[in-house]
Chain A
Amino acid sequence: MRYKTNPIDRTYFADEPAEDFNVIGSVVQRSDALGHVTGRTTFFEDLSPPDLLHVKMHRSTRHHARILGVDLTDALAVPGVVRILTHADIPNNVFTPLKLIGVQPDDEPVLAEGKVRYLGEPICAVVAETEAAAYEGAARVRVDYEELPAVLDVEEALAEGAPIVNEYHGNNYFTYEGHHCRRIRFGDVESAFAAADHVFEWRYQSAPIEHAPTETTGCIVVPQPDGRLRIHSDTQACFFTLDNTALILGTPFNKLRIVGGTVGGGFGGKVDIAVEPVACVAAMLTRQPVKYVYSRYEEMQVSSPRAAERIYIKDAVMADGRITGRKITLYVDAGAYSRHSPYGTTKAAAHLPGPYSIPNVWADCHCVFTNRTPSSAMRGFGVTIGDFALESQMDRIARELSMDPLRLRLINAYRDGDMKAHRKVAEGTALVEVIQKAAEMVGHELPAEYRQMSSMDRASMDREGR
């Protein structure tokens, strides 16, 4: 065997009881690898039922517009086009991904109705005997628009007089129990700023990022003899897909069966229920198997990206490196619809102020609607961009104070028993140790008192004067 492993350093957490495992902790060959190297693993698109129909979408060419009319005449005349679905064909034309667990909002139509709110929003689904005919039909759909002003920047979207992206919300932000943002209020940051030796404030920004799985999002729906629909999908969450699709179709849940589980990369992008509802409607109406799979262009530009974020961090810092207050204003660019962004914004809030014990924390985390492709979950949801901002901030503080950046982090590192800003007591922490280990790996010398710090021993930090 010629595989890679990384050394496990047991000198850290040496007190953890040694356990005698049989297969845990051992290198076991991946159960899927033989299928992969022989090309025999079956991904959803490797299914090829007879009489398969193909769906291609006609999408908005505008950021924000009223739909005045949709003309399907030329599209229906394309040889091989079987049917074209509009919002009127979708029994319950609204995505409700989290309805069964009581989470709103239901702010996104399956197919656009009356308005489009982002470039690429689906309007009509062309069902055809071949992919080429479906593309041709989709290209021949004519939509008459009345262009509306669009807003593409999070802070502009929150400014007075900005165009409203989605009437459902009435504002360009998601409302958290009456608040215009998800809040963290812990201690008193203003007092911390007043008492600080230094106050530093900087801004960070990211742009949307694509999951870019090598397999695009898609499904094949096969009507069954018993009237049920078997949905072969690369969803990351079979029951999410089943539940939400059934609600959209208005069918009993047990009419649907999801078969999945072998996915060509997800990274969060296949948590949305993007393709199955339309494919199921098409299959029900035509009584034929239907494939709806994103093109690479759709995957790149239409599927949910990782949200762009803008983050302002203002820190109260003492001369010895202790951060005594951290005030954060965070904007998540949700795009035109909620999807999972309100949750991601809450997750971002819970992560603040990073892995540090800061006694005073204030955060306003805004989930903002813009006329942009809706964003949603991606690997590190709510955290990745925050970490970029937080750890850049730490580096800047260290430089402002002419401090060793690792010592600054160790002084402020959270430990077992610390209460985090969201009032959860930390346990199982190990920030101190990964920093110590990284320092050791690169030969970054730390004084003894820093090498002796421990996540389990708050006293070791108290010696630093806290």
Chain B
Amino acid sequence: MITAVRTPESLAAAVGHAAAGGRLMAGGTVVMAQVNSGSVGSPELVSLRRAGIGGISLDGSAARIGATTTLAEVEESPELAFLRDAVRSIASPAIRSLATVGGNLFVPQPYGDLAVCLLALDATVEIAGPDGSREVPVDVVLANGVAPGEVVTAVRLAVPAPGTWFYHKAMRRKLNSAAIVAVAAVVGTAGGVVTSARIALGGVAPRPVRAVSAEGVLIGRPLETDVLDEAGRAARGDIEPFDDAYASAWYRARVLPVHLRRAFLG
């Protein structure tokens, strides 16, 4: 049973409550669902809603998105327009007006499509804790979470150059459904061949993963069907698919190359 809900009005206070053992909550879309079913497992909640860590700022192509920025705010942000399709593939409007960028990092797969995007974007995560702040690559947070008492305060990313951002999500329904396979990628080309590639996958492992094998296949080659199919097959080496209510591990692995190709060729 919940005995206290804290709504600290500063980051320092939030860190203090978190360090004291409170369960952090940003949009509440995960935590409140657990509260409502009596399964949250912590008597004290710490809401980040008023901790002053929201908002989007842009410096050249460097974007900083505060942790409590909602998905709806990202969706509406002209600076982050490249992420609009990805954000719209997440849940529904009444969830996106609550769910946050920071919270999305901690959502279990096959949810957490924005985290997949952040992995592809090589984002950096700003973290505040009782012993000060630190910045780590997003893959570290996705793999290890943060320490007790730490609070994610923002993510930083470089807005990809025009024509280099790719996103595709396969779902059971056209809208409002979890990822069967989500593909997010920043891929640069020159002279018709791939010069740089960072591909992240969702829905195919316990956490968002880099498709490093696929990236290796693409480098130096054109973004064409055969190459992408080969890359997609290679990506099967990068995943740990699972069964759930949406699809089996077999199906996820089976269609991964299709969706990897479709992320680039539609």
B-contacting residues of A (Cβ < 8 Å)? 56, 78-80, 130-136, 138-139, 295, 297
Q: In the assembly, what is the distance between CA of A136 and CA of B42, in Å?
A: 12
Q: Does B2 contact A (CB under 8 A)?
A: yes
Within 8 A of A (CB), among B25-52: 35, 37-39
B175 at the interface (CB under 8 A from A): no
A56 contacts which of B1, B2, B35, B38 (Cβ < 8 Å)? B38
Known: A56-B38, A78-B1, A135-B39. 12 other contacts (CB 8 A): A79-B1, A130-B1, A131-B38, A132-B1, A132-B2, A132-B35, A133-B1, A134-B38, A135-B38, A136-B1, A136-B38, A139-B38
Residue in B closest to A135 when the chains form the complex, CB atoms: B38
Task: Report the interface size for chain B: residues with CB under 8 A from the other chain.
Answer: 6
Contacts of A295 in B (CB 8 A): 37
Which B residues lie within 8 Å of A135 (CB)? 1, 37-39
Give the complex CA separation of A136 and B38 in angstroms.
Answer: 6
Chain B nearest Cβ from A75, distance in angstroms: 12
In the assembled complex, the CB of A136 is this many whole angstroms from the nearest CB of chain B, namely 5
Complex-state Cα separation, A135 to B40, whole angstroms:
11
Asked if A297 contacts B38 (CB within 8 A), the reply is no
User: Could you tell me the distance between the alpha carbons of A79 and B1 in the complex, rounded to whole angstroms?
Assistant: 10
The interface bits of chain B over 194-226 (1 if a CB of A lies within 8 angstroms of the residue's CB, else 0) are 000000000000000000000000000000000
Which chain B residue lies CB-closest to A80? B1
Enumerate 23 A-B pairs (CB-CB under 8 Å) in ascending A order.
A56-B38, A78-B1, A79-B1, A80-B1, A130-B1, A131-B38, A132-B1, A132-B2, A132-B35, A132-B38, A133-B1, A134-B38, A135-B1, A135-B37, A135-B38, A135-B39, A136-B1, A136-B38, A138-B38, A139-B38, A139-B39, A295-B37, A297-B37
Chain B residues contacting A134 (CB-CB under 8 Å) are 38
CB distance from B92 to the nearest CB of A (A): 15
Cα A128 to Cα B2 in complex, Å, equals 15
* Chain B residues closer than 8 Å to A132, beta-carbon distance: 1-2, 35, 38
Query: What is the 8 Å Cβ interface bit string for chain B, positions 38-76, against chain A (1 contact, 0 not)?
Result: 110000000000000000000000000000000000000
B38 proximity list for chain A (CB < 8 A): 56, 131-132, 134-136, 138-139
8 smallest A-B Cβ distances: which pairs? A135-B38, A132-B1, A136-B1, A136-B38, A132-B38, A295-B37, A133-B1, A139-B38
Chain B residue, CB-CB nearest to A133 = B1
Looking at B1, B2, B35, B37, the one whose CB has the most chain A CB atoms below 10 A away is: B1
For A297, give the chain B residue with the smallest CB separation.
B37
**CA separation between A369 and B35, bound complex, in Å?**
36
Task: Tell me the bound Cα distance from A79 to B35 in angstroms.
Answer: 17
The interface residues of chain A lying within 8 Å CB-to-CB of B37 are 135, 295, 297
Q: Which residues of B contact A138 (CB under 8 A)?
A: 38
A160 to B2, CA, bound (A): 51
Identify the closest chain A residue to B35 (Cβ).
A132
Closest to A139 in B: B38
The interface residues of chain A lying within 8 Å CB-to-CB of B39 are 135, 139
CB contacts (< 8 Å) of A136 on chain B: these are: 1, 38
Indicate the member of A56, A78, A130, A135 with the most B CB atoms within 10 Å: A135
Question: Cα distance A80–B3 when bound, in Å?
Answer: 13
Considering only CB atoms, which chain B residue lies closest to A296 in the complex?
B37
What chain B residues lie within 8 Å of A297 (beta carbons)? Answer: 37
* A131 proximity list for chain B (CB < 8 A): 38
B159 vs chain A, min Cβ distance (A): 40
B2: A residues at CB distance < 8 A? 132
| A133 contact set on B, CB distance < 8 A | 1
Instruction: Map CB proximity to A onto B1-12 as digits: 1 under 8 Å, 0 otherwise.
Output: 110000000000
Query: How long is the Cα–Cα vector from A70 to B85 in the complex, in angstroms?
Result: 52
The CA-CA distance from A56 to B36 in the complex, in Å, is: 12
Q: Which residues of the other chain, A, contact B35 by a CB distance below 8 angstroms?
A: 132
Residue of B nearest to A134 (CB): B38
The closest CB in chain B to the CB of A295 belongs to B37
Q: Shortest beta-carbon distance, A212 to chain B, in Å?
A: 13
**Within the complex, what minimum Cβ distance (angstroms) separates B33 from chain A?**
10
Residues in A whose Cβ lies below 8 Å from that of B1: 78-80, 130, 132-133, 135-136
> Which residue of chain B is the closest to A138 with respect to CB atoms?
B38
CA distance A417 to B81 in the complex (A): 68
Provide the bound-state CA to CA distance between A136 and B2, in Å.
Answer: 10
B11 smallest CB distance to A (angstroms)? 29
Question: Once the chains are docked, how many angstroms separate the CA of A132 from the CA of B35?
Answer: 8
- Report the bound CA distance from A297 to B36 in whole Å: 12
Complex alpha-carbon distance, A133 and B43, angstroms: 12
Return B169 CB to nearest CB of chain A, in Å. Answer: 25
CB distance from B103 to the nearest CB of A (A): 21
Q: Complex Cα distance A334/B231, Å?
A: 47
Cα A56 to Cα B39 with chains together (Å): 13
Residues of B within 8 A of A79 (CB): 1
For A80, the chain B residues whose CB sits under 8 A away are 1
Residue of B nearest to A128 (CB): B1
Give chain B nearest CB distance to A426 CB in angstroms: 41
Roughly how many angstroms separate A297 CA and B39 CA in the complex, as a whole number? 12
Report the separation of the CA atoms of residues A132 and B36 in the bound assembly, to the nearest whole angstrom: 8
| Chain A residue, CB-CB nearest to B38 | A135
What's the nearest-Cβ distance from chain B to residue A71, in Å? 19
Give bound CA distance, A135 to B39, whole Å: 8
In the complex, A297→B38 CA distance in Å?
12
Task: Quote the shortest CB–CB distance from B3 to chain A (angstroms).
Answer: 10
B4 to chain A, nearest CB (A): 13
CB distance from B240 to the nearest CB of A (A): 26
B216–chain A nearest beta-carbon distance, Å: 41
The docked-state distance in angstroms from the alpha carbon of A130 to that of B37 is 12
Alpha-carbon gap, A431 to B35, bound state (A): 53
* Distance from B262 Cβ to chain A, minimum over Cβ atoms (Å): 29
